[in-house]
With several copies, the nearest count.
Chain A
């Protein structure tokens, strides 16, 4: 993982406050767990049926029956609980999930999220992503600021099929922390060594800048 991504993940970890129930989506968000201290009070949820995820295990240490929704071998903590898939999403839909961190193909300035389908290229199904995006009390996105071709992933409108509308509150990228406000994207923080103008350039919609100094991470 590049240094910029590492810092993005470390910064995103600070989004988690004590006592929260949190679901970390597949991919980059999963790495956030490495930035949580052993005595930090938090409950990590995975939609295949576990609250209280413990550290990831190597194949040598793994329990063949204990994975997270991304297929990684994980462990339990004192106070973990297993449940079926209906209960797992009941928790999500009924407002018991305080925060989810998801990946994205595109985020619109209205907070619409597209992260499950690229017609003609990638259509494996949405899995549990729609319910996480639509029902977590707070949805934040971890993504690179641009795609591999250098095109902005933050856009005026999503062009890909929507996962959920108006759901994204905040975006952590390798360049910046950006909030979705009623007026659109607003820059909160910039990565060390990245100028606000570069971030605005790499954003596909207007980006409001804060008055005064922009904190760095």
Chain B
């Protein structure tokens, strides 16, 4: 036995995304955002997308390119305060935005990845975020039903991968990536380096290969990955 090889090209991987797809994207700010996969999605031009991402990056960066190109119909997110352009699109009704408490977005995605139907929580129960959500009484306590989220495609930025798609992440670039890497029908990974089999210690793998469908090794990183000077 040997482990299967899932390496492919950027173009072929992103071509698997259909129009109208629901797409999860890793990242919290710059760290962990799959900028190269996003650029290829911009180039290929799939439209009518629903994006699930912690934030909307900043104006002129990352997913903002997809917003600007009119490729996005809907965004499920936690905070878009660093992207004035996204707020403008939301306020003018050109994109539909659903806000989630950050940890609950993480748990909804994880629940999707874990094959669960929903989680029950008291988070945000007293706020407008949960005003129209189903409630369930457990031991006399009214809890909010937060349904599991799954996507057609997850776009993941990893530090290292092997050919099977065993991944590791570095520092705060981990964030939503390992959760989304479990929660999509098709998981596409860009990795800063493709390592030979056996180089990643089995104890140090953050996302096990069975969850991953396609891995693409990045060349030189674009400016979008760099330090932001404000």
- For window 67-96 of B, CB contacts with A under 8 Å fall at 77-82, 87
A94 at the interface (CB under 8 A from B): yes
In the bound assembly, the distance between CA atoms of A73 and B208 in angstroms comes to 21
The interface size of chain A toward B, counting residues with CB under 8 Å, comes to 70
A202 at the interface (CB under 8 A from B): no
B141 at the interface (CB under 8 A from A): no
Proximity bits, B129-171, A CB within 8 Å = 1, else 0: 1000000000000000000000000000000001110100111
- Given A39-B2, A67-B30, A71-B29: A127 and B128 within 8 A (CB)? no
User: Are B101 and A92 in touch, CB under 8 angstroms?
Assistant: no
B44 at the interface (CB under 8 A from A): no
- Given A59-B227, A126-B78, A128-B101: A91 and B171 within 8 A (CB)? no
The interface size of chain B toward A, counting residues with CB under 8 Å, comes to 77
CB distance from A96 to the nearest CB of B (A): 5
In the bound assembly, the distance between CA atoms of A88 and B3 in angstroms comes to 17
Q: Which of A4-12, A42-50, A169-177 contacts B (4 or more CB under 8 A)?
A: A42-50
B9 at the interface (CB under 8 A from A): no
Proximity bits, A117-159, B CB within 8 Å = 1, else 0: 0000001111110110011000000000000000000000000
Interface residue from B114, B127, B175, B197 paired with A49 (Cβ < 8 Å)? B175
User: Are B227 and A73 in touch, CB under 8 angstroms?
Assistant: yes
Inter-chain pairs besides A65-B170, A83-B205, A94-B115, 12 sampled, C-beta below 8 Å: A38-B2, A63-B171, A71-B82, A77-B3, A79-B197, A80-B202, A82-B203, A84-B175, A86-B107, A126-B79, A130-B127, A163-B127
Q: Which 3 A-B pairs have the closest CB atoms?
A: A89-B103, A93-B115, A78-B198
Which A residues have a C-beta under 8 Å from some C-beta of B? 18-19, 21, 33, 36-52, 54, 59, 62-69, 71, 73, 76-97, 123-128, 130-131, 134-135, 161-165
